[in-house]
Amino acid sequence: METLTHIVNGFSVALQPINLWYTFLGCFLGTIIGVLPGIGPSATIALLIPVTYGMNPTSALIMMAGIFYGARYGGSTTAILINTPGEASSVMTAIDGYQMAKNGRAGAALAISAVGSFIAGTIGIIGLTLFAVPLTTMALKFGPAEYFTLMFFAMTAVSSLAGKSPAKAMISTILGLMIATIGIDLQSGQPRYTMGVPELQDGVGFVIAVVGLFAIGEVLATMEDMVKGVRPEIIKLKGRIWLTREEWNRSVKPILRGSVVGFVIGVLPGAGGTIASIMAYVWEKRASKHPEQFGQGAVEGVAGPEAANNADTAGAMVPLLTLGIPGGGATAVMLGAFIMYGIQPGPLLFQNRPDLVWGLVDSMYIGNLMLLILNIPLIGLFVRLLYIPGGILMPLILAISTIGIYAINGNVVELYFGLMFGVAGYVFRKVDIPLAPLILSLVLGGIMEQSFRQAMTISGGNPKIFVGSPICVTLVALSIISIFLPLILKRIEAMGAKAKAE
Amino acid sequence: MADRIILACTILIAVVYLYATTLIPSLEIGDPLGPKAFPRMIGIALLIAGALLALEMWRERGKIAAKVEGAALFDPRVLKVLAVVAIWIGIYYSMLEGLGYVLATTAFLFPLMAWFNRGKWLANAISAIGFAALTYWLFIALDVRLPRGVLPF
């Protein structure tokens, strides 16, 4: 009953004119930047953090959540029209979405993606509303050992599911942890790995790392394509942005199935949207009576993955808000933003700041509706962004990155750090080292070490504490399973391929 | 080839990191582990990750496609352009506070656009100047301080 009151009160926060405005602004900016090829939600949120400096935390977080799902949505437009997904989770949308666009059904593909996103997003947020409270009740029982094993699980899950090579993902995760140890150790007051650089005493800011790795790195990668003369073909948008009755009938079930898959996968830590959309695509192809149409522009192949992708966004907010543990790159950036505002998400936040939590959750219902209303009529306008020449756009992104980093502390040295991360981000892309695990462990590293040391202090130095409770044992078991998951998945893939060949 | 370099770098980073860990001064009072224990663990974990990578490389050794791809990964012509871009970004950063955001940004953007968006002088000039002025005004309005530099406003 008390929760219900909080949920209703949340709407009174979310419906305040100022917060409505920030929801709108977040969705709008998120969509715009999401449409721009090459910039995913992680970089979008990090780049727009300076915009929120003057705001109160509730409004800032409401806006950032809007940016998050706005950017996810914007990414599908890029996938459909130029076959260049803004981020990995739109890869599946590109397969049939781009074919639909080539067949002259671009408007229908964009419409199904907008409607599917709205339905899936709303189902996802209902799931978030329902699951948040039971999970926080459980999370209140968590001590340092449980938190440590939970973070360990999140990292193993993310690194086992990101990229092609588990070893490279593990390297990425550990590099993030190493960067997190730079700075003054909070417990002993000793500087670690600062090399006498004063700017490193407070550690490496996550905004610097995210902007460098994702924005500057991506710009360098895009510039490489430009030097090589690779130019994406943009499909012109013709006709109405709407679907035929037949297309709609074919899409309803995929949207509902995709929503469930997306939400469930979103709650679990790991590659999130990408895995969710792949699973939804595979499911639709299996369920279809005409699997041969997939890859040729089947509307189900857009509806399912798009729904999964957007329900995943809401699902990913569940562990972030209830446990304070993000399940992937973009939510890790969100956690970093929370911490910047002095807010630690987790079960205590639900007790101490119900207005903030439920205001944020409820704003997502409104934001989703806004996205739908915004996108159907304005899609033509957003699409125009794709016509901005890369030669103008890429330098502008570099300048925006500069503001994003400089605005934090007004320090030029941090800009050079950002540039170093940018070069590293470019190289990592080239050699297939995934970036999301690095960001996740960079954001979680500090808290992880603290809980490790607290747990060891409690146990008097006995590591058995990490298997000392049923929750710990479960989490350790899940971590071990996720380490071997890539091997199991490979087996399943091989079996699938064999079955297909026969 | 690329994977071999990654492997070498991984081992190098792990060794340097573990060595730097031994240099952390520690007074282990009230904290049985001290500031070194966790870093030591992740340093060793990185070595294990390196070993895993070596194992992956050993398993993939027969696949010729991967090797060909590795050789063409970094095109020297592209690298030259990107190195110039990175240096240019560095110069921009060093000029930012002296010249101020608007001037430095315009001076940074215009040549980059002139190179990557050739021949469109007017569009490039409008984009460079317009963007610098507009964002400066926008962020000042949002209470975000950007360096003013030599301009009086």
- B143 part of contact set with chain A, CB < 8 Å: yes
Give the closest residue to A142 by CA, choosing from A470, A499, A501, A441: A470
Residue whose entry in the numeric block shows the structure tokens 């799931």: A127
Name the closest residue on chain A to residue B74, using Cα atoms.
A430
Name the closest residue on chain A to residue B84, using Cα atoms.
A220
Best to test chain A binding among B5, B28, B42, B102 (most A CBs inside 10 Å): B42
Name every chain B residue with its beta carbon within 8 A of the beta carbon of A165: 53, 56
Query: Where is A17: in which H helix or E strand?
Result: helix A17-35
- B88 part of contact set with chain A, CB < 8 Å: no
Is the pLDDT assigned to residue B28 strictly greater than 90? no
Give the nearest partner residue to B42 out of A177, A431, A457, using CB atoms.
A177
Distance CA A256, CA A303 (A): 9
- Decide if A126 contacts A326 (C-beta within 8 A): no
Name the closest residue on chain A to residue B132, using Cα atoms.
A399
Burial code of A357-372, b = ≥16 C-beta within 10 A, e = fewer? bbbbbbbbbbbbebbb
Confidence of residue B65 (pLDDT cuts 50, 70, 90): low
Amino acid identity, position A323: L
Asked if A192 lies within 8 A of B117 by C-beta distance, the reply is: no
Is the pLDDT assigned to residue B140 strictly greater than 90? no
pLDDT at res. B29:
61
Confidence of residue B142 (pLDDT cuts 50, 70, 90): confident
- A148 part of contact set with chain B, CB < 8 Å: no
- Decide if A15 contacts A366 (C-beta within 8 A): yes
What is the interface pTM, i.e. ipTM, of the complex? 0.93
Q: How many helices (H) and strands (E) does chain A have?
A: 20, 2
Distance CA B54, CA B60 (A): 10
Name the closest residue on chain B to residue A433, using Cα atoms.
B6
Burial of A256 (0-12, 13-18, 19+ CB in 10 A): middle
Name every chain B residue with its beta carbon within 8 A of the beta carbon of A54: 142-144
- A233 φ, ψ to 5°? -90, 120
Give the closest residue to A3 by CA, choosing from A357, A330, A296: A357
C-beta atoms surrounding B133 within 10 Å: 14
Name the closest residue on chain B to residue A53, using Cα atoms.
B144
Best to test chain B binding among A148, A171, A193, A430 (most B CBs inside 10 Å): A171
| C-alpha distance across the termini of chain B, in Å | 53
Token pair recorded at residue A329? 């790159």
Distance CA A155, CA A80 (A): 32
- A389 part of contact set with chain B, CB < 8 Å: yes
How many angstroms away from the CA of B79 is the closest CA of chain A? 8
Token pair recorded at residue B46? 């990185």
How many angstroms away from the CA of B40 is the closest CA of chain A? 10
Sign of torsion, CA A484 A486 A490 A492? positive
Name every chain B residue with its beta carbon within 8 A of the beta carbon of A168: 6, 53
Give the nearest partner residue to B31 out of A165, A188, A433, using CB atoms.
A188
- The distance between the two most distant Cα atoms of chain B, rounded to a whole number of Å, is 67
How many angstroms away from the CA of B106 is the closest CA of chain A? 10
Token pair recorded at residue B131? 């963007």
Name every chain A residue with its beta carbon within 8 A of the beta carbon of B10: 171
- Decide if A387 contacts B122 (C-beta within 8 A): no
Is A140 in a helix, a strand, or coil?
coil
pLDDT at res. B69:
54
Is A127 in a helix, a strand, or coil?
helix
Asked if B56 lies within 8 A of A396 by C-beta distance, the reply is: no
pLDDT at res. A237:
73
Distance CA A361, CA A65 (A): 9
Question: What averages of pLDDT result for each successive group of 10 residues across chain A (502 residues)?
Answer: 86 94 92 80 83 85 91 85 74 87 88 92 94 88 91 86 83 95 87 89 89 91 88 74 85 94 85 78 86 87 91 90 86 88 89 92 94 84 84 92 90 96 94 89 90 90 91 92 78 65 58
Name every chain B residue with its beta carbon within 8 A of the beta carbon of A456: 32-33, 37
Is A361 in a helix, a strand, or coil?
helix
What is the DSSP secondary structure assignment for residue B32, as one 8-state letter? Answer: S
- A407 part of contact set with chain B, CB < 8 Å: yes
Asked if A190 lies within 8 A of B73 by C-beta distance, the reply is: no
Is A192 in a helix, a strand, or coil?
strand
Q: Report the predicted TM-score, pTM, of the whole model to 2 decimal places.
A: 0.89
3-state helix, strand, coil in chain B (%, to 5): 75, 0, 25
Question: Half-sphere exposure (CA, 13 Å, Cβ side) for A360?
Answer: 30
Asked if B75 lies within 8 A of A175 by C-beta distance, the reply is: no
Name every chain A residue with its beta carbon within 8 A of the beta carbon of B67: none
Asked if A419 lies within 8 A of B86 by C-beta distance, the reply is: yes
- B50 part of contact set with chain A, CB < 8 Å: yes
- B106 part of contact set with chain A, CB < 8 Å: no
Residue whose entry in the numeric block shows the structure tokens 């297909």: A500
How many angstroms away from the CA of A145 is the closest CA of chain B? 14
Amino acid identity, position A354: P
Name every chain B residue with its beta carbon within 8 A of the beta carbon of A190: 24-26, 35
Asked if A402 lies within 8 A of B96 by C-beta distance, the reply is: yes
Name every chain A residue with its beta carbon within 8 A of the beta carbon of B48: 170
Give the closest residue to A167 by CA, choosing from B56, B60, B105: B56
| Rounded alpha-carbon distances, angstroms, from residue A448 to A146, A452, A482, B111 | 11, 6, 19, 45
- A193 part of contact set with chain B, CB < 8 Å: yes
